[in-house]
Structure 1
Amino acid sequence: MSARRAPYELWPIVAAFVLSGGLSFYALALARANHTPVVLWLANGALIGWLVQKPLSRSWPLLASAFLGLVLAKLCLGDPLASTLLIGPCHALETVIVSEAIRRRFPHLSPRTRFMDLARVGVVSALIGSALCALGMMSILHLWSGADVLVSLNTLFRAHFVGMIIAGSTSLVMVTPSLRHIEPGRIWVLVRDLLLMTAVTVGVFVESHIPMVFMIYPPLLLLVFRHRFVGMVMGMTILSLVVGLVTTLNVGPFNLVAGVTPAFHVVMAQVFIGVSCFVALPIALALADQDRLRNRMHESELRYRMLAEHSGDLVMRIRTNGDRMYVSPSVKELLGWEVEDFLKPRPDLIHPDDRERIAAEVCKLRAQGGTTTATYRLQHKDGHYLWIEAFARLVPSPDGDGAMDIIYTGRNVTERVRIEQALLESQAQLRTITDNMPAVIARIDTTWRYTYVNRFVEQIFGKTPAQVVGRTVRQVHGDAVYDRLKHYLERACAGESMLFEYEVKHHDKRLHFQAHYVPDLDADGKVRGVYELTTEITHIKNVEHELLRLAHQDALTGLANRRYFSERVPALLDMAQQHNAPVLLALVDIDNFKSINDTYGHAIGDIVLAEVGRCLQKLVREGEMVARIGGDEFVVLSCDFGNVRHANAFTQSLWERLHMMVDAGVAQVAVKMCVGAAVCKDEGSVDGLMKLADEALYQAKEAGRDTYRVLTRGFNGGGNDKGNSNSHRPNEEVKVRQA
């Protein structure tokens, strides 16, 4: 690959050597053969086209090659090596200044380059580079050969400046494809015009009797107008070569000026070439810029037309009277109409329900200007309607008549409108569902402010959605409820799903709610709010409480039932053991209850049971428990006494108070009881305690009923405790053996 690339990298170096050496040799040899100053120095400008294409760090081989070409040319003409080596860098400095100025200002030359700016940069840099080069060369020649300073500076500057303009422009045209582009059909026209320019120039400058130098301007300007920048460069090159040659040969119209030296003839030639260049150059640059702008406008027009004609959108230009000056071909694909059919105003194609609205929009646009956007229905040629989204702008008419046109762009949005309508319908259905759900459905943002709430909030909290949306949770529910909800809101905003219950007081009623907080996550998984589903469960809680009451309460007497008693006794025994306290369990049985039922009926029996239950409920104290555990069997549990004597006194009081007369309506029923009490300490077994109480009740029944017995266990101080007899013998003491 390197071997293949090497020739392409070597050719510019060889060409720079040949071009610099050849042009230098030609200019110096011609001037010295006729003992005149150099008319035109083209060698430095010939390198500009190559040097502007790459940075200086990569183009130094070209400068070195051109420097060697200059040195070889001067050595061939007999110049000393020392002066030649000193003058060479001056030439390189001029080339570097001009090429670097152009390259830094215009890194890439293209048809979009502003040639007036390019010419301005080139002329200014050529002035600076030529002045520095001439000043350096003048100093060297003055020190080396004693040449006149002003004459050398004047002659060198003009030769280098005009040569740089002509040769630099030529090299830029030759190496830049966009500048030298010529249509194939116009090549022969260019050759013909160049031959004409050459013939006229040679004829004018060969004629030494009549001054007709002005005759070269018609063919030169013809080249400029027909071939733009290329014609100007080639015409000036022909003019420069002919003028320089005839001047150094001391022929031509400049010799008509009598009494001047050959050096002055050179000055006249340089001035003539410079004036001709500055006549043709601005015209060529202006025409090139005009072509560039015309091409850009044409490209823009082609681009716009391509977009308008190949776009799926309908594009129209409409006059104020409704006439359509332009309709894009997309109307055929969009609406089925031909362009010719759509050029006339067609308000009848607008849906009847939309005509008035669209007419108002058009009137507003024409009156106020600016832009407007509207969505409406337009009839297809087949008869069905399409939804069109139209964008219109009022702009000055390109016809230059001072009128205002409407630029219209419309696109088919039927599918989008259907989707939007389906979405709106779905949202309406969803809102209907949410508003009629027996729960509060809401959304709370990260600032804990309501952004949505359904209408059920009116039934729960007595507030409309408009009164809730936009307010914070604290503002809606108050500080007390907010303090209960704050913890759950924080956890929901942290990404957790929270299900909890809370209770509030509303209008002197206790309301129970169950709330479910679900985080609202965006596409990146970031929490942007909380969804709330709150249901009032007051009736459920009431049912739960009622069920719990029915499960633990005897329906007839209102006392605890056997199930609740069995659930509570183990906990009470554990508590008594922890505090080292005695426990009393008394079984109460109604004497001859079966005979009451048989005599008075079960309804009277139920009245008796209910009255006994109310009496027991009044007798027990806080911390004591009474329950109905059977048909006519009740139980009393107490841990609130100090010793056995207190237990006996409690049992006796209980037995005495349970004697009653029950008013059954049709009769007075006398109720008597048997009580068997067990008093234990350190007793952890419910069965053991019940067994001991049952034994005491059995003894009371064996003693003839209507009495009580107390049995103890776990107390120090003997095996027997004393108890009173039944109510018929209140002063008699009966000894009961400890079980």
Structure 2
Amino acid sequence: MQAHALECGSATATTEPALHLLRLLRTYWADRAVLAVLIATAAWLALTLARGPGELAAIWVGNGILTGWLLSRRTATWPGYVAIAFAAELPARLLAGDAPAYAAAIALCNLVEVLAVAAVVRSRVPDIRNPRHWMRLGGIAIAATLVACAVAGAMAASVAHGLHGQPWGRAFASWYAAHVVGMVVVATTTLVVQRERLRLFTAQGRGWSLAATMGLLVAVATGVFLTPYPLLFLAYPALLLVAARHQFVGVALGVIALGLIGAGATHLGYGPLWLHDLDDHGRIALLQLYLAGGCLMTIPLCLAMAERQRLAASLRESERRYRMLADHSHDAIARVRADGERLYVSPSSAEMFGWSPAELLGSRWDIVHPDDRAQQQQAMAEVLATGRARTDVFRVRHRDGHYVWIEAVSRRIPADDGGDSGDLMLAARDISRRVAVEQALEESRRELERLARADALTGLANRREFDARLAQALRRLQRHGTPVALLCMDIDHFKRINDGHGHACGDAVLQLFARRLCDAVRGTDLVARLGGDEFTILVEDAAPGSAEAVARKIVAASAQPVDVDATPLVVTTSIGIAYALEPVDAVTFMARADAALYAAKDAGRNGYRVHVQG
């Protein structure tokens, strides 16, 4: 017991300084000291290792740290943090060899950039911790970063040009690329660390999953940066996996890992960035673009996932509230005989149906919707026969004439002597609102599905719908030998229309052209717009010459000018035709039609060509 007490006392004595130190780190000056160390260290390393005297740093993380720091704290405390950051960066620059005037001017440019981004984000999104604001936060933060880095970059390039004679354009490009990448990656990382703290690694279920996915990313990134082949894209799927599993935490750690591995391998002379005859600035610029690409892929994904989770949580909360109200409401209770005659109806039915309990007694099948009567009679018979309770949804006519959707739980009532009384107890609740919501959601789902498969400008099928229909047609060809024809076309010299008459005129031409295509085909044929002025027609069960007939109709219609804002325009098209009489994959089939399209263009346009298999 004494030994145990001594051990406990020793443990207490050991943990008390740790707790005191933890509390100390959260104090006013300790927080600023941590920021000062981070800013000074980041500035010194970037200036010492990444550039020569008088040049702008190749990548800058200090501004991202300070921006994340400011956005995690009250606006009233910003002046102190800004002063600390300036005081920490200035000596780091002087130690790295910058002249005092140059160091002070560049440090001020950094503060302009940070304050611009932080001020815009704080004014437009005051509470960045609220998930409801994350989609808006992402757009505002990116826009503010792009503008602020451009403004600060112009100032810094002018300083570098005036004091050190650097070419202004090169200095601006170096600053802009380094600061945009640093701001996006490091500011996001800082915000995540400030919010998550130790939960970044200790959250339930995150540790092993995060370690495994990060290990996969590190392994893939190491492999692609050590090989001399241009395989950098292979690391992006692993980065997307980390982002999808761990969202902003995964993005922060994943992009940092890619940056460290890429920078280390490139510095040692390995990797695809050495394939091109570039100097160090060129390789750094390529690495910056690579990291920026990772951010552009993953951050919007995380914002979308956060928004989806927020909507799901809101939906769950709404459902919880609805269920609470439903569970505590007064259900309508009725005792019903096997023939449907109601022997008892609770008073709450008056509020639900508008009928008094006395008016609902007796056999009143007339108030049940005609389409639901047979189903409800069968349900009652099943409950009486099996003795198992069941729940049914049907409609009951309200006193004022409209129908009320109810959810009724039917149970067989035993007789007082323990036998079968032959009666049922129904507990009914009004679910009209729930049904209306479900119907609205289903209608919204159908509308969203329709919009997802339609081109917004022309109303034709889009690329997604075309790909699905083409795959179905080729499967039918493989199973049943049903021939398929494909027409690929675009508008001749469409760029001239856009350039000469404006994009509004170009859009009107696309719409009129789409109507011409629809007029030239059968109702079973699919007309799709793949993008720009590229259109396709899918003809199933295609008889020999049927595609050529469609093409001739389209070419003939092209002879008629179209009026766009009182301007007559002759809109012609070149068409490539391919037939699939034997099983073929979609890529090959499309390639054949494209080859015929290019043959039609080479033949002078305003016509069609048919692909002939060699």
Specify the TM-score bucket, using the shorter chain as the normaliser. Answer: 0.5 to 0.7
Equivalent residue letter for 2:287: A
Q: Equivalences for 1:262-281 in 2 at 5 Å?
A: 262-281=280-299
Structure with the bigger RCO (C-alpha within 8 Å, sep 6+) is: 2
Q: Which of 349, 354, 359 pairs up with 2:359? A: 354
Q: 2:435 matched to 1:396?
A: yes
Superposed displacement of residue 126, structure 1: 0.4
Q: Name the counterpart of 1:152.
A: 171
2:224 aligned partner: 204
CA–CA distance in structure 2, aligned partners of residues 221 and 369 of structure 1: 52
1:294 is aligned, of 292, 312, 334, to: 312
Distance in 2 separating the partners of 1:403 and 1:214: 39
Mark the CA change 1:394 to 1:139 in structure 2 (over 3 Å): closer, same or farther. closer
Written as runs of structure 1 = structure 2, the 5 A alignment for 1:680-719 is none
User: Cα deviations across residues 136-157 of structure 1 (Å, max 9, x unaligned)?
Assistant: 1111111101100001101110
Q: Match of 2:31, as an amino acid?
A: P
Is 1:240–2:259 an aligned residue pair?
Answer: yes
Q: Which amino acid aligns with 1:300?
A: S
Hey, what does 1:169 align to over in structure 2? 188
Aligned to 2:69: 50
- Contact (CA 8 Å) 2:53, 2:97: kept in 1 or not? no
The runs of 5 or more residues in structure 1 that have no matched partner are: 317-330, 374-379, 405-739
SS in 2 for 1:32: coil
Deviation at 1:164, TM superposition (A): 0.4
Measured in 2, the distance between the counterparts of 1:153 and 1:224 equals: 31
Cα separation, partners in 2 of 1:395 and 1:148, compared to 1, 3 Å: same
- Aligned residue-pair number: 368
Aligned to 2:160: 141
Q: What is the CA-CA distance between 1:187 and the residue it aligns to? A: 1.5
- Residue 252 (structure 1) shift: 2.0
Deviation, structure 1 residue 248: 4.5
**Distance (whole Å) between structure 2 residues aligned to residue 126 and residue 366 of structure 1:** 62
Matching of residues 13-28 of structure 1 within 5 Å:
13-28=32-47
Measure, in 1, the Cα distance between the counterparts of 2:138 and 2:95: 36
Q: Against the structure 1 CA distance between its residues 402 and 270, is the aligned structure 2 distance closer, same or farther, given a 3 Å change threshold?
A: closer
DSSP 3-state at the match of 2:128: coil
Shift of 1:227: 1.0
Structure 1 residues 88 and 36: CA distance shift in structure 2, 3 A: closer
Q: Secondary structure at the match of 2:225?
A: helix
1:274 Cα shift?
Answer: 1.1
Per the TM alignment, residue 5 of structure 1 is displaced from its structure 2 partner at its CA by: 8.1
CA RMSD in angstroms comes to: 4.2
1:314 aligns with 2:353: no
Pair 307,389 (structure 1): closer, same or farther in 2 beyond 3 Å: closer
Deviation at 1:285, TM superposition (A): 1.5
Aligned-residue offset at 1:202: 2.3
Give SS of 2:214's match. helix
Measured against aligned partners, the alpha-carbon deviations of 1:189-224 in whole angstroms (never above 9, x if no partner) come to 1022212222222222122x2222112112101101
Cα distance in 1 for partners of 2:431, 2:44 equals 70
Q: Which residue number corresponds to residue 482 of structure 1?
A: none
Aligned residue runs from structure 1 range 28-177, under 5 A = 28-32=47-51, 38-177=57-196
Q: Which runs of 5+ in 2 are unaligned?
A: 1-22, 347-356, 369-394, 407-412, 417-426, 444-614
Taking the aligned partners of 1:134 and 1:23, their CA distance within structure 2 comes to: 19
Percent of aligned pairs with the same amino acid: 26
Amino acid at match of 2:288: Q
Note the alpha carbon deviations across 1:380-437, whole angstroms, 9 max, x for none. 9999xxxx99877466366659999xxxxxxxxxxxxxxxxxxxxxxxxxxxxxxxxx
Considering fraction of residues, name the structure with more strand.
Answer: 1
From the superposition, tell whether residues 130 and 212 of structure 1 become closer, same or farther in structure 2 (CA, over 3 Å).
same
The ranges of structure 1 where at least 4 consecutive aligned residues each deviate by more than 6 angstroms after the TM superposition are 33-37, 370-373, 380-383, 388-392, 401-404
The answer on 1:188 being equivalent to 2:193 is: no
Residue pair 1:134, 1:156 contacting (<8 A) in 2 also = yes
Q: Which one-letter code corresponds to 1:350 in the other structure?
A: V
Structure 2: how far apart are the matches of 1:287 and 1:392? Answer: 31
Deviation at 1:111, TM superposition (A): 4.7
Of the three residues 304, 323, 330, the one matched with 2:322 is 304
Q: Which amino acid aligns with 1:199?
A: A
1:12 to 31, 34, 38: 31
Q: What secondary structure does 1:349 align onto?
A: strand
The answer to whether the Cα contact below 8 Å between 1:53 and 1:103 also exists between their aligned partners in 2 is: no
Please report the TM-score for the alignment, with normalisation by the length of structure 2. Answer: 0.53
Encode CA deviations 1:641-670: one digit per residue, 9 max, x unaligned: xxxxxxxxxxxxxxxxxxxxxxxxxxxxxx
Give the Cα separation in 2 of the matches to 1:221 and 1:353.
65
Structure 1 residues 311-369: Cα deviation after superposition (integer angstroms, max 9, x where no partner): 2x2358xxxxxxxxxxxxxx8xxx9x9xxx99x99944327723169875975449954
| Residue 392 to residue 216, structure 1, CA distance change in 2 (3 Å) | closer
Does structure 1 retain, via aligned residues, the 8 Å contact 2:344–2:361? no
User: 1:314 is matched by which residue type in structure 2?
Assistant: H
Verify the 8 A CA contact 1:91 1:133 in the aligned structure 2: yes
The structure with more helix, counted as a fraction of residues: 2
Structure 1 residue 240, shift from structure 2 partner: 2.0
